[in-house]
Amino acid sequence: MLKYILRRLANYVILLFLAVSGTYFLAAVCLNPYSLYAVRQPPIDPNVLENMMRSYNLSDQVPLIERYWTWLTNILLHWDWGRSPLGAYVNEQIATRMWVSLRLVLIGTLVGTVIGVALGVWAAVRQYKVGDRVYTVLAMVSLCTPTVVMAVIAMISATKINRWTGLQIFEFIGIRGNTGNYPGAALVDSLQHLLLPTLVLLIIQATYLSRMQRNLMLDALGSDFVRTARAKGLTRQQAVRRHALRTALIPIGTQVAFSIPLMFTGAVVTETVFNWQGIGKYMVDTITKMDVHGVVAVTAFSGVLICIGAILSDVVVSALDPRVRLT
């Protein structure tokens, strides 16, 4: 298993290097950092602007391949991912925003996965009953509701709950607010701001996975090996738990392994609505602010997470499916 993972990891590293290098060339050609200073008042002296862009390794007067080599050597020798056209260090931006997104994404994804799998199994074993039909209607409504609409509904509902109770239970703008003077006030304030956006991501993840788990579970319940297990004397609950569920979890394991990395950059709408300065929002900002180095850094960060997800997928599948281990 270790040899297999190392071989896959080597392939991923090569692919990641090619993808990140390609992104650098594309961003350097398509983005124009000079445009950020075109409307500045008073205008910046062209010579001053050019010297500044050269110091940031963003000058279009320098050949592209030379800029690429400078950028690459700075990363390999100093782990310096460069600076934005406004002078901000990309390393600092990624390091700060990564942990902001981690708090939001990891909880929402993991809890949403557990709830989604449980709901999918519950609905599958009660196919066509009242509970299954009610769940199906609610799930379809949730799937058809855009994330931004769901987030706004959550904010309106939270505001009404706060007014009704007379307590500030929910805080939903930014990651921190006014903290009290009691012990643990900072932790409570962080949890209050974390609750609502996490709930939105949890609902999205749980709804999507529950529908997938239900369909996979129904296929497994109708399989020959489940009928054989029942014929050998197992109860329906035992057959579901020991055979059908394990088989139905294999595709879910792969999906979850990839969904955690993708959620870091995929939670753009949630982070924007709730004003969370995470990786998703930073990804959009780098494009709108012509930040070549920022775009490449986010691409590299996403690529690393995808590689981790691919390796986790291999591990999860091998743990759930004995045939993979034998192979």
| 282: Cβ contacts below 8 Å, ≥ 6 apart | 93, 94, 97, 294, 298
Please enumerate in sequence order all residues whose Cβ is within 8 A of that of 136, keeping only pairs 6 or more positions apart, or say none: 123
Q: Tell me what the mean pLDDT of segment 251-267 comes to.
A: 73
Residue 125 burial (CB count, 10 A): 18
Q: CA nearest 107: which of 227, 233, 187, 202?
A: 202
Partnered with residue 83 across adjacent β-strands are 89
User: What is the model's pLDDT at position 62?
Assistant: 92
Question: For the ranges 86-90, 173-177, 294-298, 301-305, which has the lowest average pLDDT?
Answer: 173-177
Q: Given this model, what pLDDT does residue 108 score?
A: 82
Q: Which of 149, 144, 138 has its CA nearest to residue 115?
A: 138
The model's pLDDT over 272-284, given as tens digits with 9 standing for 90+, comes to 888 888 888 888 8
Radius of gyration of the chain (CA): 25
CATH number for the segment(s) 92-291: 1.10.3720.10
Q: Which residue, 3, 1, 19, is CA-closest to 306?
A: 19
Determine contact, residues 112/118, Cβ cutoff 8 Å: no
Domain boundaries of the chain, sorted by first residue = 92-291
* Predicted pLDDT of residue 284: 87
